[in-house]
Amino acid sequence: MAVGPGHRGQSSTPPAGQGWSLLTSGYVLAEVESNLAALPAGASDSWAQIRTKLETVPDVLTFEWPAVFAPARDRPILFTAAAWADVLLTLDRRDFVDLLGTSFYGLAILKPGDFLRRERAAGRLARR
């Protein structure tokens, strides 16, 4: 899942009034669907709720600048996020471990909790 600024200028309904767009791609949606059965009970229901808040952007399968990222199957996730978003949110510690907390050509790569802490510390997280 990636976070973009109102989808690069196009209007969309930001989640929780924060001014963010939560972005995904067909590649990511297929990966989630293929992994749902292995997740704990209730994951499918949670995913159904989350899915309605996501905006789907086109997949980006190639990248114009040099990129050394070993997990080939996750390159479309990284490249798509770099093309469309400001932040890539992931809990995939196996494939993104070397990139978590860093950036890729200006794309911040964070765990969701770290992203929220960063936004709160910067005063950008609106209180409910």
| 57 Cβ contact list (under 8 Å, min separation 6) | 7, 23, 24, 25, 80, 83, 84
Task: Note the pLDDT tens digit of each residue in 91-114.
Answer: 888 888 888 999 999 999 999 999
Per-domain boundaries in the chain: 2-121
d(CA 86, CA 73): 21
Shortest CA distance to 2 belongs to which of 105, 79, 66?
A: 79
**Residue of higher predicted confidence among 11 and 21:** 21
d(CA 75, CA 60): 9
Identify the three-state secondary structure at position 60.
coil
User: From the centroid of its chain, how far is CA 81?
Assistant: 7
Written as one letter, the residue type at 39 is L
The pTM assigned to this predicted structure is: 0.81
The confidence score (pLDDT) of residue 10 equals: 35
